[in-house]
Amino acid sequence: MAEYICVFNKDTLIIKPSKKSPLFLRTIVLLFAMVCGVYICTICMKQISVVTKMNVQVIGSPSPDTNIATQLEPQIPTLHYPKPETFSRGECTQNPVRFFVILSMQRSGSGWFETLLNSHTNISSNGEIFSAMERRKNISTIIQTLEKVYSLDWFTSASKNECSAAVGFKWMLNQGLIAHHEEIMEYFKHRGVSAIFLFRRNLLRRMVSVLANSYDRYAKLLNGTHKSHVHSHQEAAALSSYKPVINSTSLISDLKEVGLAAAKALEYFNSTRHIVLYYEDLVTNRTKLKDVQEFLGIPQMELTSRQVKIHKGPLSDFVKNWDDVNRTLSGTEYESFLGADY
């Protein structure tokens, strides 16, 4: 483009009859040549820098499979100084508070994850508050509920009140989150809420957990009480003694649907400050918990949980029609779910 302009300029100069001296004309041509040269040079430089930037991005960008797909904007979390109506923040009035939300799906380890977070002195994660229908009836009840949580006026066993430095709760995708995603996204951005996505890679294990849990809801294997999370190995054994049958006809499309729901949530909320975690990584890699604390901008602590995993060992032990399932998934993109440990 630059060259065309230069030639054009030269042409006009030459075509235009001029009575000026050849020396003057030559000087002008020389000047134009210089200006064009500089112009071309700057364009070249720009292109070179764009190319290098792209290389850096390619090298530095995590592969789509990496565990912690961090953030486009690694800015620090927004600080808040809430003034709760129901109590005084006492000695911690001057301490900033960060707002977060755990976006997850049922049976993806979010209950366990939340107990880990709540073992931190300064984290208050208030549970699945939108499991109650009336709180997610419409967007105004949702916002009202959110306001109450983030003003620290929401009370649960997890509330730390005075000295909470990070306050939040967990929100399942099917609890009005996707249905009202536009307004909720606006709210998150406006209020500076950071999102922690927590997904499970092995959707087949998740499915077994969902089926077993919904069965127990009715059968109540644990001495007549339903428990979705257990604290002893005996309880875990009792729950996992039930072997669900998986519908192999709809299995692939069911798995696909769950994967799509997660992708959709990521897409809808991708412009809020966020971190993506996978249950499997949390189980095997304790550094992830450090990442979370760093993301929340709170002092590092050792996080602990008393919860015991319900389905331990090979998945084939927990599914009645395992051969069916194995046959259905063998050779598909979901094959790895059959053998994985978590």
Ligand X SMILES: *[C@@H]1O[C@H](CO)[C@@H](O)[C@H](O)[C@H]1NC(C)=O
Piece in contact with ligand X (CB under 6 A), picked from 50-58, 73-81, 175-183, 281-289: 281-289
| 145 near ligand X (CB under 6 A) | no
Q: Does 222 bind ligand X (CB under 6 A)?
A: yes
Residues paired with residue 102 on neighbouring β-strands, in sequence order: 170, 196
Residues 79-108 that bind ligand X (CB under 6 A): 92, 95
The answer to the question of residue 49 lying near ligand X (CB under 6 A) is no
Cα maximum dimension of the chain = 109
Query: Which residue bears the tokens 């998986």?
Result: 246
Task: Name which of 6 and 139 has its Cβ closer to ligand X.
Answer: 139
How many residues are listed for the chain in this entry?
Answer: 342
Site for ligand X in 9-38 (CB under 6 A): none
From 285, 305, 307, 321, residue interacting with ligand X (rule: CB under 6 A):
285
* C-beta separation of 297 from 194 below 8 A: no
Residue among 21, 63, 157, 223 that touches ligand X (CB under 6 A):
223
Mind giving me the DSSP string for 265-289?
HHHHTTTS-EEEEEHHHHHH-THHH
Q: Which stretch binds ligand X (CB under 6 A): 24-32, 123-131, 134-142, 174-182?
A: 134-142
Site membership for ligand X, residue 228 (CB under 6 A): no
**Using the rule CB under 6 A, is 163 a contact of ligand X?**
yes
Cα–Cα distance between 91 and 93 in angstroms, integer? 6
Binding status of residue 249 toward ligand X by CB under 6 A: yes
Q: Which is nearer to ligand X, 65 or 85 (CB)?
A: 65
* Nearest to ligand X of 40, 254 (CB atom): 254
Among 18, 27, 42, 121, binds ligand X (CB under 6 A): 121
Please state the closest distance from residue 235 (CB atom) to ligand X, in A: 5
- Is there binding between residue 267 and ligand X (CB under 6 A)? yes
Nearest to 3 by CA among 47, 37, 46, 44: 37
Residues at the contact surface with ligand X, assessed by CB under 6 A: 67-68, 72, 92, 95, 121-122, 137-138, 140-141, 163, 165, 222-223, 234-235, 238, 247, 249-250, 267-268, 270, 285, 287-288, 291, 298-299, 316, 326, 330, 338-339
